[in-house]
Structure 1
C-alpha cells in the first residue's frame, strides 16, 4: 500500500487534527509532576501486567510500546504514552494484543533505531529531500534538530554517538562550520552503509567588508565525495571543512588532497556559515536530521579575531530561533550549569523546543550531584522536554578506535553500576544513555514534521500559484528566429552608414557637417599665413613664438609633441598670455594689450585724412588685398602673430654661414617655414577632434534609431562598445595619417610649382613693399612731430624739416627673405589641406563603406559566425532580451517554479493533508 493510498483511506491513522498538535512528552518526565516526589520505580510489566481495566471508561490500556496492528497504523508512540481503544473493537483479547506489541519491541534493533512506522520514516525522508533541493531558500523553513553547546561541552562525542560516525577530534578541527547530517534507515536487512557528502554555499566571503565579512548569495549545493566505509568519514569531513574554510580556492581542489588526522591546519577563515551536508543511509540507522553548529566562544587569542564571538553567536541564533527547529542542548556536567552561555541562549530563544543533553557524567565527583539531580527533576533550569544524560568514551578509548557497539555497552554499564544513576535516579533510567536520546529525538522530530507538514504543503501551493500569476503578468518571451531579426537590423545599419557617408541618401546632414569641418580647417590655416610687422621700432613680444631658441629647436621635438598630443581626442586650450590679442577685429599687439616689458605705447600721430584701402582675406579666393594700416590683420587664431623685423634679423644672423654682407643662407627660409608650419598644430588638432565627434555621433545616432527597441538589452550595450572600439581604431589611423602629412611638410621644404610660386611671391612682395613704405612714412612723420615739439618748447619759431633717410632700406634683406617664406607656405598650405582630405576620404571613409571593414568587425565581435544555427539562436536570445530586468525576473520565477514543482512531487502523497486538517 502506498503512502498516498494509506492517507486517503484513513488520514487520521497518520496525521493529527490541528487541535491535537503538541509535542509528544514522556509521562515519566519530571515536568509532569513538578515539585512532587517521584513515584517508586516499577519494573517493566510482563504480558499479564501490561494492561488494566478502567471501570469508568470500559477502555483497555495498552503498554506504550505495543502497536495496534489491526488498525493499520504504523505510528509508534513514545514510551509511557497510552493507546486506548473501545472494548467493542478488535476481536482479539488484550493479552494477545500485548503479546504482539512485546514481540514488536523484541524485534527492534539493539540500538533502538526501529522506533518509527514506515509512513513516518517516509515523512522524515521527504523533508530531508526537500531540504537538499534548497526548498528552504523559498522561505519554507523545514523541521530540523540543531545541536548547540559551548566549546568542550562534549558536543562532538554526542554527535558521534547519535550518528554512529567518527568526526575529527584533534586540535584545530572542532566544528568550524555547520555540519548537517541526515540519517535515513534502510529497512532491508542487507542494506549497505552509504554516505554522500556535499557542500552547500549560501554566503560568500568578502574580507574588505567591515564587521561580518560574509554576504548572502544564491544557494548552491555541490557533490563532494561518496564513501561506503564509515572509517573514511573522518578524513572526508576534514577535506570538506578545508574546502569550506578556504573560500578563495575552488572546493574541488580538496577532494583528493592528502590530509593529516593530527596537528593544526592553517585556513583562510576560522569559521564559515556555509554547510557540510552528509546523507547517510543503511540498516540500523536512526531516522534523524540534525545540524551540528559551532560551539559558542567567549574569548579569542587575537584581538583582531574578536568579531568571531559575535559571528558564531549570530550563526547559532539564526538557526535555533526558527520555530521549526528542535534544539539539542549539549551541557557538560564538568562545569557549573549557570555559566554555560549556550544554555542561556536556548532558554531565551526556544525553551519549549529545547532538549537537554548532559554530557561527561563520569567527571562529577561523589557527593557533587546535587545541582544535576535538581536539573533532572525539573527544579532548576527547567526545559519543556527535560534532560537526558549520556556518557561517551574517554579520549584514550577514542584513540584506541573503540567501536560504536562497545561504547554503548560501556555506557549501559556505567548507568547500571554507578551512584546515583542506579539508585536515587533509577526512576529516570529511560533518560539515561544515547539510545534513549536517539529514540526521543526521532519521535520528536517525526511529530514536529507531522505538525508542520500541512503548513508546508499549503505554502508550496500558495507560492506556486503566486509564481504562476507573476509569470503570466510578464510580457511574452522573445520570438523565434532572432538570428534572422538581428541580421536584418545589422544590414539596415550598415546600408545607412554607407549611404550617409557617401551622400547617397536623402539625408545629407553628415556630408554637410563634414564639409563644414573641412572648410574650417582651410580657414584656420589661411588665418595662420605668415605676416610681418614692418615697423622695426614697435615693441617685440616676450612670448612670441618666433624666437632664436625656437629657431634652434629641432623638428623632431616638434613632431613628437604633435604625435603625443594627437594620440587621443583633446579639448585642451592654450593658456592665455599677456600678449594675446583682444577680442577685436584687429589682433595686432600694437592695437591693444600688454607691452610685455617693451617701451610705452606710441602716441598715434595725426595724419592727413585719406581714403583708406581695406584689406580683406577671402577664404574662398585665398587672396591678399590692400589694408588700411600696416598692422591691421583679420580675426584669427590666437597663435597667429605678425613676425617682427628684428626677429627675422636674429634668425638670419644665427644661421648665416658667410661673411659677405647681404648674403642670405637658404637655411633661413627653411627655418622660417618650419617655424610657421608649427603653428598648424592647433587647427589640425581641432579638425581631428571635430571629425572625431561628428563620426562618433553619426554612427551611434544611426545605431540608436535602428536598435531603439533593444535599448535595455545586452545587445545594445555590447554593440555600442563594439562601435566605440572600431571608432577608436579608425581615429588612431586618422591621427597617424595626419601626423605623417604634417611631418613631411615640416621636414621637407620643397616644391616644383615654379609658376605658382612666382605668383605667390609677386603678390606677397607687393604687399610687403606697400606695408614697409607706409611704416617708413609713419616713422618719418613721428620724427617730424617730435622735432617740432622740441623746437617749439625751446621758444623757437618756424617749421622744422626732417630729411628722409637715404640709401637702401636697412631691413630689405629681412623683408625679401620673409617674402620667400610667405610664397612657399601658400603652396604648402594648399598641398597639406588637399592631402589630408584625400587621406580621410580614401583611408577612413572606405573602412565604413566600400571595403566593409566596419561590417566585418561588428560581426566578428558579436561572435556569431563560428556558431551553429542553434547556438546562434541561443546567443541572440541572450543578447536581444528587450528588458533585462524583466528577463532576469522571468528566469528567477521559472527557476523558482521548477523548484516548487519538484517539492510538490515529493509532497504529492500528502496532498490530502491540508484539507484534512483545515
Structure 2
C-alpha cells in the first residue's frame, strides 16, 4: 500500500520524487508522464552527474525523440512541466524585480552567468542557446555584460535596451572598475531598439555596445537606421584610430528575445578572461574583466556556466581559477566546447574529467559542438534555418564520433552532449532556482518594508491641522520627563526600556559628590615627624605621618609632593617674603608631570575626574623644622613659650587654598552631566522632529537655561570657598577638639617611632646583632637626648584637626547649595518654560506651532526617498504574490494529474476493484 506522492511548496520535487524519477525510462512499455522533471542536482544525481550508461544507437535515440513528441502532445503533465507552462511568467517576474532596483534591498536574485576565457567558444555557445547570430570578427558582446532573455512565442521579436548601473567618472580610480562609480539611485533602463527581423540583431547589438562604451554621449545617436548612426559609421570606417570613450564597461546590454522553439532562459554573458592585453590602451583590461567576472560569480544565487575549450588543457583555464578563488564550484556547471579540436595529449585529462577523477563539479559537464571554420554553414549566407541545421550537424558529429558514438569510450556521456540538452537543463534548473529563492526573497522584501515603515514613523507628523496639539503635547512631555530626571525617577532609554539606576542623573551626581568628599580628605595636610637637621640626625622622610587612613600602604604608595608645586605660601612675613619649610624630597619630584606618572591606576578609578595634581597637595605639608621657624618668627621679644595663633591660621589657610581646584572640577562635572542628561531627554521626546525649528529652538532655550544656572551656581560655590579661606571660625568646639585629639595621638605615635629610629642610628650594635630586639626593649631614658617637640606637634594637630572639621562642613554646604540652587530650582524652571519662549499662549499660537514643525528641504527629500523605496517594495510584494499564486496553481494541477495517472496505471494492472478512495482524505490508498 502506498500514499499519494506530493510536492514541496512552489512545485519543487521532494527527494522521494527525485529518487522515483529518471530522465530516461527504463523500458519503452512503461511511460511516466512527469519523467522529464530534472533531478535536483544539488542533492547529487547519478544520472546527470556521471552520464549513466545509455544505449547510443540511432534506434534508441529515435525512440527517445518519439517519446518526447508523445509527451508534448499529451494533456497529462506534472511536476515542473506544469510549472513550465508559466516559466516565462516566472522569468519575467524575476526581471521585473531586478528592474525595480531591489538588489540593494534583498538577497541576490537568481541568475545564470556564462563565463569563460577568450577564444573558448563562449560567444558561439551563447548564440546557440539563444538562437541568435552574433557579429563575427568585430569583438561585439565581449566588452560589457549582456543579459539575454529567451522565451517561447509564435513570432520572433527582440527588444534591446541599455541597463546603466554605473556612471562614468574618469576622476575615479578606486574600486574594482576604474573610471566607473556605482549609481546610488535605481537602475536606469534605456530602450535602444526593438526589431522583428533576426538579420538585424547583429548590427543592433554591435551599436548597442558602442553606445555603452561612450557613456557621455546620448545613446540614441547610435541606434541603427538613424541619420546620426549613419554619420558615426562613416567616421569609424574612415578612421583607423577611432577610439571609444572607454575600453570596457560594467553596464549591461539587455536583449529580450521571443520566438518559436526558444527555451525560457535568462542569463548573463560576460567578457572573456585573458591575461595579455593586445595593446597599451588595454593594459587594465585583464584586471577589469576579472573583477567583472568575480562580481557576478560571487552572487549567492547565480548558476555559473563555465565554457572550456577542449583544445586546451582543462588545468589552464583562467576562468576556472577565478571560480575556485571565489569558492563557487558548487554553483558551477561546465560546458566543454570545440570537442573536434581536442589534442591527443589532452585525451587522458578529459577521460579523468568524464570519470569524475579530476576537475569535479557538482553539476557535472556538458559537451557542445558548434559550427567551426570548416563548416559549410559558416561559408554559406546566413539563413533562417541556420540554428536548426546547426543542431543536426552537432547531433551527426556526436553520433559518428569515435569517442562519443555507440562504441566510443565516452559513449556513456552521450546523454549530456548537444545544445538541446544544455538548453533543457538550464531552463529547468533556472526554474528550480527561482522557486527555491522565492521564500527568502519574500522574507527580505517584508523585512525591508518593515524597516522603511519604521523610518517613516520616526519622521515628524505632517498633519498641520493638529500642529498646536502636537507641539503642546511634546513640550509637556519634556517638562514631565525633565522633572522626573532631576527627582531621580528612572526614565526610558533609547531602546524603550527603563534605564538602569547607575545611568540616572541622581546616581551619577551622588557618586560625583562622594568622590569630591574623598578628594578633600585625601588632600589633608601631613607632617614629617623626623628630626630636623639641627639635631645632628639624618632626616628620614619615611616617618611622614598620614592621617587620612590607618593603612600605611596607601601612604607609602603616594608620591611625595611639596606645597610649592601648588604655589601655596606657608608663612607670610611683613616684608612679603615667604618662609618655606625645608623638604627632604627632590624638587623635580614635585613637578605636575612627574606626579601624573606616579599616580596609581586604582586612584584614577576611585577619584575619577578628581585624579589630578592637586590630589597630592597635602603630601609633606609640614616638618618640625618648618614649625620651629614659624614659632620663632611669630614669638615676640621677651615672650617665652608663647605660641602665636597666627602660625596656626597661616598653616590652616594654606592647606585650604587648593580646595578651589577640586571645587572647579566638581562644578564643571556636575553641569556636564546635567547638560547631557537634559538634552538627551529633549532628543528622546522630539526624536521625530530633530530637523525642525521646534527641536533647534528648544535646544537653544534649554541650553541657555542650564548656562544661567551654571553661572549662578559657580558664583555661590566660590562664595562658600572664600568664606572658608578668609579666616578660621567654628562654633562646633566639641567636634574640633575631637579631630585635634585624634590627630595629636597619631602624631605622638609617629614622633616616638622617629625618636626610636634616631636612637638606633646612634647605637653601635656590637654583640647586639638583633636591631629589632633593641627596638622592642628601648626605654624612655634612652630617648631623652631626642626632643619630643611637643609644641610643634600641638600646632600640627591643631592644623589637621581644623582642616578636617572645615572639610566636612565645606563638602556639606557645597553639595547642599547645588541641590537647592540648581537641581530644585530647575525642577520648577522647566515648567512651561518652552511654551512661554515660543509664545504659545498668544492668539496666533496655531500659526507658530505650524511653523515650528514644518519640514525643511532635507527632511522632505528624505521622506520622498523613503516613500519611493516603499512603493518599490510594495510592487515587489505584488510580483511575489503573483509568483506564489502561479506556483500554487501549478502544484495543485500537478497533484491532480498525478492522481489520474496513478489511477489509470492501477486500472491497467487490474487493480481497479481494489482502489479505496476517501473523499475527505488527501491520500489514495492501493490495497495489496
Query: Normalising by structure 2, what TM-score?
Result: 0.45
User: Which one has a bigger Cα radius of gyration?
Assistant: 1
Query: Normalising by structure 1, what TM-score?
Result: 0.45
Task: Flag the structure with more relative contact order, 1 or 2, with Cα contacts below 8 A and sequence separation at least 6.
Answer: 2
